[in-house]
Amino acid sequence: MDTKVIKSKFPIFQNKINGKQLIYLDSANSSQKPKTVIDRISKFYSKEFSNIGRSVHSLAVIATNRFEETRDLVKKFINAKSREEVIFTKNATEAINLVASTYGEKFINKGDEILITELEHHANYVPWHFIRQRKGAIIKFAECNDKGEVDIDEIKKLITNKTKIIAITHLSNVTGAIMPVKKIVDLANEKKIPVLVDGCQGAPHLEIDMQKLGCDFYAISCHKMYGPTGVGILYAKKKWLDILPPYQGGGGMIEEVKKDNITFPGSPTKFEAGTLQTAEVVGFSESIKFIEGVGIKNIMQHEREILEYGLEEIRKNNSVRIIGDPKNRGSIISFTIKGIHPHDIATILDEDGVAIRAGHHCCQILHKKMGIAASARASLGIYNTKEDIDVLKNSIKKCNKIFNN
């Protein structure tokens, strides 16, 4: 794989940041976009735009077709059984809220248990907290060990007859730990407990095949997959979509509206209320083509190489502590430097054109567990190279020098 060619497909890298070449190590937050995605949105607005699914004029037909073609692409990409199992949302957060709200409303009652882990992003905790409040449910947290991973036994021991859903991340956005989703699903199946997977970090970096994973729900944020902001995907097994109530009400999601009664169509229409982020969804079709063009296996192999090089190089610096050491790790390196606050690290790195994230990364529970308030995080994408790691490494040394530690 020629990373020079890959990088050249992303216009952002033609810009200088603080007079320096951009070293983008914040893809877990949001990835950069290839030109094909940017151009697709522009072309859609220039030549094909109209609201979808509502009018009969020619543009409406074209726009609707482009939108629905993207649904078909997603269906194939994640290997869903049918296109009805693919629902567009505004991001993964909304996808998880949709499930928590509708499944929670119908199936979770007082004293019932929601099983999550200490690794979860706030997006996979706060929506369940609302259900806890609304229904008097209980949230149980499977413990994360000092390697920053959750052992499947920790999940197993918390499952009871009251467990109504297991909601886990696919890949931790802090420690990079990859969860054994298939094994957890098998475990849950024995007790007929549905499993929701927060696939925010899984989808851009791993092979995601819904038939192999077997989970009931899978949430995706397309902006982390080289796609536009404003688009998320909820995959859900059809058996759930058939019985869950609608999430938001409004135009587009109704069958018949009378003064005394309203009926709803099937999925996905039932769950897609109001005018959608049409151009962005169409733009996302180019992200899928981009990922498939490079090949997810190649992406995984390339990121693994850079990750291993990065871990090795950064470990050489004795003042750096890398957060977690999971056996099975995705493209994320969170770290602290002795005596330097992560925000100071981020500012100093930024001066060298190195973009990382500093803070708790929406995982306060995990940071507390690790005994820190915040960390610095370098996260990889397909465009990163060993040279990027070298710049990062030298920039970290600069932090040491400025703070004299």
Partner 1 sequence: MDIKELYQEIILDHGKNPRNKNIFKDFNKDAKGHNPLCGDKVHIFLKLNNEMKLENISFEGEGCAISMASASIMTEIIKGKEFNVAKKIQEDFLNMIKEGSKLSLNSLSDSENTTMMSLSGVKRFPMRVKCATLAWHTFIEAVEGNKKIVNTEN
Ligand X SMILES: Cc1ncc(COP(=O)(O)O)c(C=O)c1O
Helices and strands counted in the chain (H then E): 15, 17
Q: Is 363 a catalytic residue?
A: no
Query: Which one, 241 or 399, has the nearer CB to partner 1?
Result: 399
Query: Which one, 155 or 370, has the nearer CB to partner 1?
Result: 370
Query: Which one, 86 or 370, has the nearer CB to partner 1?
Result: 370
| Partner interacting with residue 351 (select from partner 1, ligand X, none; CB below 5-8 Å by kind) | partner 1
Q: What is the signed CA dihedral for 265, 270, 272, 274, rounded to 10 degrees?
A: 70
User: What size, in residues, is the chain?
Assistant: 405
Query: Which one, 222 or 253, has the nearer CB to ligand X?
Result: 222
Q: How far is the CB of 362 from ligand X (least distance, A)?
A: 6
Instruction: Confirm or reject binding of residue 343 to partner 1 (CB under 8 A).
Output: yes
Q: Are 40 and 286 in contact (CB under 8 A)?
A: yes
CA–CA distance, 52 with 168 (Å, rounded to integer): 34
CA–CA distance, 396 with 95 (Å, rounded to integer): 37
**Binders of ligand X in range 93-132 (CB under 6 A):** 93, 121, 123-124
Please choose, from the candidates 108, 149, 148, 155, the residue with its C-alpha nearest in 3D space to the C-alpha of residue 132: 108
CA–CA distance, 246 with 243 (Å, rounded to integer): 9
Tokens of 139: 């949230």
| Partner interacting with residue 344 (select from partner 1, ligand X, none; CB below 5-8 Å by kind) | partner 1
Query: Which one, 85 or 198, has the nearer CB to ligand X?
Result: 198
Tokens of 2: 């020629």
DSSP letter assigned to residue 122:
G
Of the listed pieces 196-204, 328-336, 341-349, 387-395, which binds ligand X according to CB under 6 A? 196-204
Q: How far is the CB of 35 from partner 1 (least distance, A)?
A: 28
**Binders of partner 1 in range 353-372 (CB under 8 A):** 359-360
CB < 8 Å & 24+ apart, contacts of 53-60: 53/252, 54/251, 54/252
| Partner interacting with residue 91 (select from ligand X, partner 1, none; CB below 5-8 Å by kind) | ligand X
Which amino acids are annotated catalytic?
362
Interacting residues with ligand X (CB under 6 A): 28, 91-93, 121, 123-124, 169, 173, 198, 200-201, 221, 362
Interface residue list for partner 1 (CB under 8 A): 339-344, 347-348, 351, 359-360, 373-374, 398, 402-404
